[in-house]
Structure 1
Amino acid sequence: MKKKIAIIGSGFSGISAAAYLAKGGYEVHVFEKHNQPGGRARQFTTYLGYQFDMGPSWYWMPDIMDKFFKDFDCKSSDFFELISLNPQFEMIFEDETIAIPEKYDDLKLLFEKIETGAGDLLDKFMQSAKYKYEVGMQDFVNKPCHNWLEFISPKIAKSAIKLDLLSNFRSYVSKFFKNKKLRTLMEFPVIFLGASPKNIPALYSLMNYGGYALGTHYPKGGFYQLVLAMQKVAENQGAIFHFSHTVEKINTQNGDIKSLLINGELKEFDYVVASSDYHHTESLLIEDERNYTQDYWRKKTFAPSSLIYYLGITEEIPNLKHHTLFFENDLDEHIDCIYGEKKWPEKPLFYACCPSKTDKNVAPENCENLFLLMPLAIGLDDEEETREIYLKEMLQRIEKLTGAKDLLSKIEYKKSYCVSDFVNDYNAYGGNAYGLANTLNQTAVLKPKIKNKKVNNLYYTGQLTVPGPGVPPSIISGKIVAQEICNLKT
């Protein structure tokens, strides 16, 4: 008889774990509190005809997604069309707009135009970033990280210096580029790793390669197409999804999970994999069965929360691209509000995504689908009145860029999402949106463990454990935990 595994949550790590475990011969049941899969990557459609991706919108590192599908003898194109964006995105400064072209050779020319010699230096930067990407995304991130011995190998030892594990990202970037705008352009991807660029290891230049060099893509129909495709793969392996099912309690006996209380009913399983928020999962255990104390979590550095707006606009917005970064204000000031002072920013940066520029099906004819996101400190009070202040500022800055007039009056659909919503919907610690920061002292073995130390058959996956925040790492995280359980058979 097959052993039964329960997976709590159907975010990317949960779906990934479900697919690999079902392939490994287990009876897999995924329990999701919402009425659809995806977790933070859910999608909703309004009665007016707007279709919004709720979370991720940057399809970077496409090879990681490709590897997932290849493991199940299929490919992403079996499920959705992937569109390469040109420009990849625009970055708005106070006195200039920089468009990042689709082709790398054009990117080199752009860098050279902005700063003499920067084109050749970009080559050197990207050659190093490519090496880090290939080693980091293959050898480093696929470790379960039980201990440092996993990293003792000739290849990793040989790579250690090249990986720049002990350099900080800001100092590293400044070795290549003097122009402040180019440095900001190179630093922006690491903001969502959960700390200032001066506190993030230079290893993460791999993100520049995974984005700028491999390109920025969009799955036609929205990012949610990746969720649906992965769910289909998992179901094809035999995994069963149960929506609107909330895990309310984890019952243990003699160091093993005996049952889960789900929608008021007890169900027994041989193993449990928690793709849910790590801290919340531990709250379902009695205190002396938890890996970590409340004090442990209070001392951790979390990636940001976010203020998000989903807007339906009744006219087309001229001169706005699919992805736009509004960086007219000082990057460090905003970062300090997130990780230092932990307050609402006075001079915010924000991001606008307008997928209707690429995909006409996500908005009614002659209308726009507009997604706005502003990174925030976790734990903030987020009353609607405060949210609205920032909405008005973001719209005014979009108007200044595009020449659009009075966008506020042209909103026919509006939904805000902020710190308290992340708590309510995902039990996210402090309302974090991206998980645990990838600072040097929260990397690899120093992240929360994927296995419970006191409950033999409880495992954890997702952005609060290895390898870290982001869609590709979450997919990898699910594979890691599945391999750990499958290895118990051998």
Structure 2
Amino acid sequence: MKAIIIGAGIAGIATAIRLAVKGYDVEVFEANSYAGGKLSEIHLGEYRFDAGPSLFTMPQYVDELFELAGKAQQFKYHKLDINCQYFYEDGTTLTAYADEVKFMKEVAEFTDEDPANVMRYFKNSRNIYHITNHVFLERSLRRLKTYLRWDTVKSIFRFGQIDAFRSMHQANVDFFKDKRMVQFFDRYATYNGSNPYQAPATLNVIPHLEQHFGAYFPEGGMYSITTSLVELAKSVGVRFNYNSPVDEIVLNGLKVKGVKVRGELHVANVVVSNMDVWFTYNKLLKSYPKLQPKKILKQERSSSALIFYWGIGKGFAELDLHNIFFSADYQAEFNAIWKERGIYHDPTVYVNISSKFKPDDAPAGCENWFVMINVPANMGQDWDALIAEARKNILNKLSQRLGEDIGSLIRCESVLDPRAIERITSSYQGSIYGTSSNGQFAAFLRHANRSPKVKDLYFCGGSVHPGGGIPLALLSGKIVSDWVDM
């Protein structure tokens, strides 16, 4: 039985491993010259940067692939003591320790919040996780057998506890009196490209994933997740074809026949698309317009990102691996992104510095800064003008907060914007998480992992169920594998 995977993103690789273990002959076709999709790397002189995802949580989903394949664990990582450093415009600096006791001391010392409220919040986050995890994250919502399980029945009866009928921000305002803590927890909406003033409070499950399960750093940097899984896939017989963009998914009636690559037909029993679902239908299935799920393809897209890769000619002891420099007016920032489709003049800036844990990512005494802000999806904006203005504002913000002229320390630079994200990763409009989760039930309305109309056509990756980000992308592969029969 032959399975073809379209795209060597992290979900495609995970799906390939799982299908190979089930006994399929698996072949992957990737348009780029490398694997990983967004989870790739770039080099600028002596500096190395992880190009895309920079936060690693839920490592058990990577471990599970090695266990499933019966191979020795080659992928190494360690848990962070500090999840993130937060810098507020009022001068407050808050260290989010992984240890809850230490974090509560930080909250008590540097904010006006009662730590008991934070602990109550974490308990609520944990509760949402236990209600939704086995139903939403690890199984398809489009299979009858999902609803015949006792844990699903229990979750349905507890549905009111997932807080789906108010926004994240509304819930956070009710939990906390200190605006800094409200902003701290509102930020988690950006983990899947959503707006905390619109996204349902169900997404307040996300802090549990980071605080309870922890944040980690892979020994070889984030890109080592990709390279380790590619080697694992090869060890179970998966074949990778790079520089091989798929032109078309070929059908025989309403059953998959295979794919065309440079005009050549590659026959398969099963085809799994790791390409963004929008491009899957509008490019690979363009000959079959009646198959398009029009409502799904019209759903609001997630936010995108503007990333500056800066080689910095100095070390900063006050910074950690993950650093957030908050906007003074969070709601105005999200209004600029979601309503005005622009970039706020005082954006929240995320700075990731992998050389803190992998020193060879930068020359001695220097650091590699991955500097990112949230921006709208590409809808024809004047990005050149927006990027120039954003760069100036980011440099001013960081320079003022750190007491250094950051611009003068930049030794090399590369820029990634929504246009390039769309071009390089086939993410429609450059939206890095597929559709947004801004509606009450938007997260439950993503495209399913199997075509409802075409037999043996499946979907994985961040644009389909259960969503974007490394853990959910890996789980999409698990759902596909559970659905595919030999």
TM-score tier, shorter chain, comes to: over 0.9
Is the CA contact (8 Å cut-off) linking 2:173 and 2:182 kept in structure 1? yes
Q: Distance in 2 between matches of 1:90 and 1:217?
A: 18
Question: Matched residue of 1:90: which SS?
Answer: strand
Cα distance, 1:135–1:237 mapped onto 2, change above 3 Å: farther
1:325 aligned residue = 324
The question of 1:256 aligning with 2:255 is answered yes
Is the CA contact (8 Å cut-off) linking 1:6 and 1:30 kept in structure 2? yes
TM-score by length of 1: 0.91
Q: 1:65 aligns with which of 41, 54, 62?
A: 62
Could you report, residue by residue, the CA deviation over 1:398-425 in whole angstroms, capped at 9, with x for unpaired residues?
22222223x3233222110101101211
Is the CA contact (8 Å cut-off) linking 1:289 and 1:455 kept in structure 2? no
- The 5-angstrom pairing of residues 83-482 of structure 1 reads 83-86=79-82, 88-114=84-110, 118-146=114-142, 150-151=146-147, 153-283=152-282, 284-285=284-285, 286-293=287-294, 296-298=296-298, 300-380=299-379, 381-405=381-405, 407-438=406-437, 439-444=439-444, 446-482=445-481
Could you report, residue by residue, the CA deviation over 1:122-162 in whole angstroms, capped at 9, with x for unpaired residues?
22221221232234233321221216883464322343233
Question: Matched residue of 2:185: which SS?
Answer: helix
2:31 aligned residue = 33
Q: Distance in 1 between matches of 2:71 and 2:205?
A: 26
Question: Matched residue of 2:162: which SS?
Answer: coil
TM-score by length of 2: 0.92
1:471, CA displacement in angstroms? 0.9
Q: Distance in 1 between matches of 2:72 and 2:399?
A: 40
The question of 1:54 aligning with 2:51 is answered yes
Is the CA contact (8 Å cut-off) linking 2:345 and 2:393 kept in structure 1? no
Q: Which runs of 5+ in 1 are unaligned?
A: none
Question: Matched residue of 1:260: which SS?
Answer: strand
Cα distance, 1:186–1:168 mapped onto 2, change above 3 Å: same
Q: Distance in 2 between matches of 1:201 and 1:399?
A: 35
Is the CA contact (8 Å cut-off) linking 1:39 and 1:426 kept in structure 2? yes
Question: Matched residue of 2:95: which SS?
Answer: strand
**Amino-acid identity (%):** 23
Q: Distance in 2 between matches of 1:304 and 1:429?
A: 11
Q: Which runs of 5+ in 2 are unaligned?
A: none
Cα distance, 1:112–1:340 mapped onto 2, change above 3 Å: same
Q: Distance in 2 between matches of 1:447 and 1:400?
A: 42
1:54, CA displacement in angstroms? 0.7
Is the CA contact (8 Å cut-off) linking 1:437 and 1:469 kept in structure 2? no
Matched AA of 1:5: A
1:85, CA displacement in angstroms? 4.1
Matched AA of 2:56: Y
Is the CA contact (8 Å cut-off) linking 1:382 and 1:419 kept in structure 2? no
1:318, CA displacement in angstroms? 4.7
Q: Distance in 2 between matches of 1:116 and 1:396?
A: 28
Matched AA of 1:139: V
Matched AA of 1:272: V
Could you report, residue by residue, the CA deviation over 1:205-261 in whole angstroms, capped at 9, with x for unpaired residues?
221111133332211221111112222222222211111111011222212233312
Q: Distance in 2 between matches of 1:126 and 1:69?
A: 31
1:194, CA displacement in angstroms? 3.3
Q: Distance in 2 between matches of 1:345 and 1:169?
A: 21
More moved, 88-97 vs 184-193: 88-97
Q: Distance in 2 between matches of 1:42 and 1:27?
A: 26
Could you report, residue by residue, the CA deviation over 1:372-406 in whole angstroms, capped at 9, with x for unpaired residues?
1111111243544531322232122222222223x
Question: Matched residue of 1:57: which SS?
Answer: coil
More moved, 100-109 vs 62-71: 62-71
Matched AA of 1:363: A
Is the CA contact (8 Å cut-off) linking 2:343 and 2:390 kept in structure 1? no
More moved, 81-90 vs 125-134: 81-90
Cα distance, 1:185–1:18 mapped onto 2, change above 3 Å: same
1:117, CA displacement in angstroms? 6.2
1:90, CA displacement in angstroms? 2.5
Question: Matched residue of 1:217: which SS?
Answer: strand
Matched AA of 1:128: N
